[in-house]
Amino acid sequence: MSAPSSVPGLGEAGLVAADAAPYETLVAMIEHELELAGEGRFADLGRANDERTALMTALPDPSPAWALPLLQRADMLHRSLTMELQRRRDAILLEVAAVERAQRAAHGYKPVSFRRPRFSSSA
């Protein structure tokens, strides 16, 4: 039997497609998470991350050598996901800073209230 066709450069490895399926699923899951992050769908991203974590705990440790190309692809995608999340985080922090600046500016336009001196009638 030959290696799964989606795993480049494996040649004859005595594998069936089912052997590579969990690793291919891992790659697809991270691709999906990257899409969700790009769309700002963070609630969906959290659920997808939980599903990926469950899959990863089911993978053999250590992983077979033939899975290395898929694991390298998954790692590259995960790095891209991390960068996208950092970019989104930075954008959110910039927005929060802009809101805080606007609040301080608005506070500066608050009318000044003068208190009248209080006099005691008993004095």
Is residue 3 included in any domain, yes or no? no
Q: Which residues of the chain have pLDDT under 50?
A: 1-4, 6, 12
Q: What is the pTM of this model?
A: 0.69
CA 58 from centroid of its chain's CA atoms: 21
Is residue 86 included in any domain, yes or no? yes
Where do the H-state alpha helices sit in the chain? 17-39, 42-58, 68-108
What CATH number does residue 99 fall under? Answer: 1.20.58
Give the type of residue at 65: A
Please state, in angstroms and rounded to a whole number, the distance separating the CA atoms of residues 29 and 77: 10
Is residue 4 included in any domain, yes or no? no
101-106-108-113 Cα dihedral, nearest 10 degrees: -150
Instruction: Give the model's pLDDT for residue 89.
Output: 93
CA 23 from centroid of its chain's CA atoms: 20
Is residue 40 included in any domain, yes or no? yes
- Three-state DSSP at 99 gives helix
CA 74 from centroid of its chain's CA atoms: 14
Is residue 7 included in any domain, yes or no? no
Q: How many domains does the chain have?
A: 1
Domain that holds residue 53: 17-108
Is residue 25 included in any domain, yes or no? yes
Is residue 32 included in any domain, yes or no? yes
